Amino acid sequence: PQGMFVGKYEWSGDREAGDCSIRILDASEVDDGGWECQVTASAFTAHDALTSKIAELVVRVAPNTPQLEVETQQVLAGRNFTVQEERPASIKCLSHYGNPPADIKWFIGDEEIPAESYEQTNATEMDRPKTWVAVSVLEHTYVKDNHGIPLRCVAVHQAYHTKSEAVEVIMDVQYAPTVTLEGAPSEDIEEGVDDVTLRCLVDSNPAANVVWRVVGEGDVFSFQPEVRFNPATRKHSATYTCEARNAVGGSDPISVKIDVKYPPKVLQVGPSPQVTAALHNHTLLECLAEANPPPMYTWVQTVPDTRETIVRGHNATLLLEGITYEHQGQYVCVASSVIRDQTLEDKSQPITLEVVGAPQVLRYTVERNLQVEKGQDAVIQIVFCSDPQPSRTSWEWGSLQLEAGNGRGRYIAENLAQDAREDCYSARLLVQGVDIADARDYVLNVENDKGADRYAVGLLVNGHVDKPPLQRVPPSAEPVSMSTVIGIVIACLVILVLVTLIVLYAFKTEKWCFSRLESHRLTPNIQCDLLPPSFDPYYCTVQVQVSRCLPTQLFILLRPDLQAMMLIEYCIVAVQITLQQNIIYSTVQYGTVNFSFCDILVTVTVSFSITYLLSGYNLENFQEDSKFSRCSVTNNQWL
C-alpha cells in the first residue's frame, strides 16, 4: 500500500463523495506499474471492502543513445563498418534503459531498410527492471555502391526531446578490383616520333596491386600503374595486358595492342651487284626489306645512256624470262609503305644486268618498208644489239652481198655506228639515185661468236609499175634465201622416201598384227547348231576387243571343207559387224570378209543357210582359221 505524502502522492478527488483519485507528483520510473484503489471493510467482520480495477501507469523513460555492436564489439559512431561486396554481414543496434522500449529502424544513407530485413527483441534491464533494452539485428548483403555511405540505427521514443536518437557508422564495402585503360592509341604510332603513355586505372577496395604483362612472354613487364614509351620504337610493338589484385580478388585483364609503324628499309638485294644473263634465257632478282606496315615492292629499270625508267615488277622477286637486250640496264628495288597517309620509300643499291648472246635486231625500231621517190637517195637503217660485238655484218639483196664498210657502185654499206643503247649498233645501207629496179627486199645479216640474226626491209619506189608494192609483213617475217629453199626441198624429198618405205613395210607386216596379240583373238569354240528346216538362216556371234594395232584389218575366212562342198547344194554366208548396237558393216559374201576397227569392242555375227544334197553325213561346214574361232554344224540330220 502506498500512503499519501504531500508533494508526492496526494488525493485529488473528494473522498467523501467517493472519489479516491490520486495525484502522483514528480513521477519516476518507480511509479511505473499497475495501481489499484482499495477500500477497507467497515468492521472486522464486515465484508464491505472494495478493490478497483488495476490502472496501468507508464512512466516514460528516455532510453540511452543507441549503440552498435559487431560480434559483441562496440563500433563507435562515425567509424567504419567493414564488409565484403555480395557477402552477407551482421550488425546489432541496442537501445538501453527505455520505457517503453524504443522502436528501432535502419537506414542506408537516406533510404530506409524494409522492416522485413531485420528483427527486434525487447527485454527488461537486469539492473533496472522498470526499463527495457531493445535489440535489433540487421543481416544484410551490401554492394559496391554502398561504399562510403552511412549506415544509421534510429531509436524512436516519445521521451526523446526530438522523438528519436540515431547512431551511424560509415560503410566500408570491400570489393575486387576492376580496371580500365587510358591512353590506348587511336592513330598510327610512328617510330622515334610519337610518345605513348598507358595508364591502368583501378577501382577497388582495398587498394590493389597493378601488374602489366606482354602477351606471349612469361615475365611481368611492370608493376606500375603507368607505362611510358618515350619515344616509341619497334621493339615496343606488342599486346600488353593490365590486371589488378587485392585481398578480395583479382580483376579481368584488359589488353591494348601497340603497333609501332616504321619506314621501309631495304636490307638485301641480289643475287649480286653485277648479273650476266644469256639472251633468251631467264634470271631472278630478289629484294628483302623491312617495314611496318609490310612494304610494297617496285622494280625499276634504268635503261643505259637514255636514262629512261621502266617499271618491271611489283613483287619482292623479279623473274625476267625470255631476256632480250632491252632488259639490259640497272635495276633498283623500291620498298614503300604508307604511314599517316604519307608514302615513305627506300631504294636499294642498283643491280647491273648485262645481256650476252647472239645479235638481235630491234625490230620494233625499224620500219618494214621504206618508200622513196625515183631518183632520190634511200637510206636503209637497222638497229641491232650484240654482246659480244658483231664479228661480221653484211647486206644482201638478190644475188649480191655487201660487207659493212664497203661499197659497190650506187650501193654503200656504211660502217657500224654506236647506238644510244648499250651494246647496240646502227647499220646503214645507202642506195644512191634509186631506180625502179631497186624495189626489192634488202636483208641485214649480223653475226658474232654466239649466233646470228637477220632482218629484211622492203624498198618501195614511187613510179614502179612492173612490180606491185611490197606488203607490210609482221616484224618477225624473214626473207628466205635460195639455199634455204633448196635445203627445204631436199629435206621434203627425204621425208617422202622414208614415209613410202614405212607404208610398204606396214602393208607387208599388217597381217601379223593380230597373230602377235592374244587379246585380238575371237572367242574360241563357238558352235552353231543347224536345225531343220535347213532353209532357215542360222548364225554364230563372236566378240573381239581391239586395243592395239591401230587401225586394224581383220580377216575372216569362212570356207566349207571339200567333203561338205560335195554335199552342200549352196551356202550363203552373211557377215554383220555391230558396234554399240549400230551396224557399221554388213555384207553377204562367200569366202573372205575384210573390215577395219581399232580400240573398240565389236560383235561379229556370221549367219548362213545351207541346203544339203545328201543326208547321214557328219558335216563340218566351217574350218577353224589360224587366228579365229570355228563355226561348225553339229546336227546334219536330213528330213
Sign of CA dihedral 70, 76, 77, 79: negative
Please, which residues bridge with residue 458 across strands? 369, 441
Could you tell me the CA-to-CA distances from 122 to 61, 99, 155, 285 in Å, in that order? 15, 11, 13, 99
Pairing of strands 351-361, 274-278: parallel
Q: What is the pLDDT of residues 202-248, one digit of tens each?
A: 999 999 999 999 999 989 999 999 999 999 999 999 999 999 999 99
594-631 pLDDT tens trace: 444 444 444 555 454 443 333 333 333 333 332 222 33
- Classify residue 479 as exposed, middle or buried by CB count within 10 Å of its CB (0-12, 13-18, 19+): middle
In terms of Cα–Cα distance, which of 511, 361, 552, 566 is closest to 447?
361
- pLDDT value of residue 577: 52
User: What Å distances lie between residue 372 and 176, 237, 382, 407, CA to CA?
Assistant: 100, 72, 17, 21
3-state secondary structure of 499: helix
Give the per-residue pLDDT at 63.
94
Q: What is the mean pLDDT for each group of 10 consecutive residues in the chain (639 residues)?
A: 75 79 81 81 77 83 94 93 94 94 96 92 92 95 95 95 95 96 94 96 96 94 96 96 96 96 96 95 96 97 86 96 93 96 96 95 89 94 94 93 93 93 92 93 95 94 56 40 69 88 70 40 40 40 42 40 37 48 45 43 48 35 31 29
Q: Cα(396)–Cα(469) distance, rounded to whole angstroms?
A: 20
Distance CA 7, CA 371 (A): 157
Domains of the chain: 9-57 (no CATH), 67-174 (2.60.40.10), 183-258 (2.60.40.10), 262-356 (2.60.40.10), 362-479 (2.60.40.10), 517-612 (2.60.40)
Alpha helix positions (H), 126-282: none
pLDDT value of residue 590: 39
Collapsing DSSP to helix, strand or coil, 438 comes out as helix
- In angstroms, the CA 48 to CA 50 distance is 6
**What does residue 622 show for φ and ψ, rounded to 5 degrees?**
-135, 125
Q: Are strands 196-205 and 88-98 parallel, antiparallel or unpaired?
A: unpaired
The helix or strand, by DSSP H or E, that contains position 468, with its residue range, turns out to be none
Give SS3 for 123: strand
**DSSP letter assigned to residue 16:** T
Q: Which alpha helices (DSSP H) does 88-181 contain, by range?
A: none
Neighbouring-strand partners of residue 306: none
pLDDT given at position 509: 57
Taking the C-alpha atoms of residue 106 and residue 116, their distance in angstroms, rounded to an integer, is: 11
pTM over 0.85: no
- pLDDT given for residue 573 in this prediction: 45
Residue-wise burial string across 262-286, b where 16 or more C-beta atoms lie within 10 A, e elsewhere: bbbebeebeeeeebebebeeebebe
Distance CA 337, CA 343 (A): 6
Distance CA(504)–CA(511), nearest Å, equals: 13
C-alpha cell belonging to residue 122: 525487447
Place of cell 655484218: 393
Residue 131, classified by CB atoms within 10 Å of its CB into exposed (0-12), middle (13-18) or buried (19+), is buried
Q: To which residue does cell 609501332 refer?
A: 260
**Of 74, 121, 127, which is closest to residue 97 (Cα–Cα)?**
127
**Residue given cell 522502436 in the structure block:** 103
What is the rounded CA–CA span in Å between residue 458 and residue 456? 7
Look-up of cell digits 534510429: 154
Distance between CA atoms of 239 and 185, rounded to whole angstroms?
12
Q: Which amino acid is at 298?
A: T
Complete DSSP assignment for 544-598 = EE--SSSSEEEEEE----HHHHHHEEEEEEEEEEEETTEEEEEEE-SSEEEEEE-
Give me the residues paired with residue 245 across strands: 209, 250
